[in-house]
Amino acid sequence: MDIKLLSKEQETLRFVLSDVSPAFANALRRIMISEIPVMAIDDVMILENNSVMYDEILAHRLGLIPVTTDTSYNLPEECTCKSELGCEKCRASFSLEIEASEPVEVVYSSQLKPENPEVKPVSDRIPIVKLTAGQKIKLEAYARLGRGNVHAKWQSVSAATYNYDEKARTFTFLVESTGTMPPEKIVLEAARIINAKSVSFGEGLGGMTES
């Protein structure tokens, strides 16, 4: 197996992978798309909202905002707290409170106050909602780790593709992160997941031969 880095711009990574089977390259690609745990807002407690946007649309938009992932958090299903609400080890909270005084006031992602500075919106300029004078929004949001195969908001990449050169037997990969994690970390994390899956498969087989 050989990996050659082609280019790295902010969120996009290009590399050539050679001496692997198409099955392996594809497994890597599919895991990057759907199985890397990343953070996204999952629960929103709306205390006040008299904007023109319904609570559920507001919550949906908050969920889709890419937030930076801190991998020291636990996956909610693996956390020791076993709580539906989560604990400080498996969730990061945000708060938003704003009352408009102008005729048109845009609420941006920068106004979401993160509890942990490591978990914050990727961009400060994402419009969440527009308010007019007198309208008020007050809410608390909780981000959790999750996987892309559960909901697209937990997808780590917006593009993970490769081009297979049959003659040279090489795969030219393109990995474009949503900003939640650097792309090279996504590739590494995918490799770690393949490894963990293989190990547990091996353990399963071991159990079969014993019986």
123 part of the interface to other proteins, by CB under 8 A: yes
What residues from 170 to 199 belong to the interface with other proteins (CB under 8 A)?
A: 176, 178-179
Q: Which of 16, 20, 46, 64 binds other proteins (CB under 8 A)?
A: 64
Instruction: Output 90 or 143, the one with its CB closest to other proteins.
Output: 143
Q: Is 34 near other proteins (CB under 8 A)?
A: no
Q: Give me the helix-helix angle, 22-34 and 183-210, nearest 10°.
A: 110
Kind and range of the H or E run holding 209: helix 183-210
What is the CB-side half-sphere exposure of residue 177 using CA atoms within 13 A? 25
Choose which of 32, 37, 39, 66 interacts with other proteins (CB under 8 A). 66
DSSP characters over 94-150 = EEEEEE--SSSEEEEGGGSEESSTTS-BS-TT-EEEEE-TT-EEEEEEEEEEE-TTT
Which stretch in 52-60, 71-79, 84-92, 187-195 sits in contact with other proteins by CB under 8 A? 52-60
Contact region for other proteins (CB under 8 A) — 13-21, 90-98, 120-128, 197-205?
A: 120-128
Q: Where do we find the tokens 């770690």?
A: 192
Distance CA 98, CA 139 (A): 9
Give min distance, CB of 11 to other proteins, in A. 9
Segment near other proteins (CB under 8 A); pick from 70-78, 121-129, 165-173, 203-211? 121-129
Residues that bind other proteins (rule: CB under 8 A) add up to a total of 30
Please state the three-class secondary structure of 197-208 as a single string.
HHHHHHHHHHHH
65 or 143: whose CB is closer to other proteins? 65
What's the CA gap between 130 and 37, in Å, rounded? 31
- Contact residues toward other proteins (CB under 8 A) are 52-53, 57, 61, 64-66, 103-104, 109, 122-127, 129-130, 132-135, 152, 155, 157-159, 176, 178-179
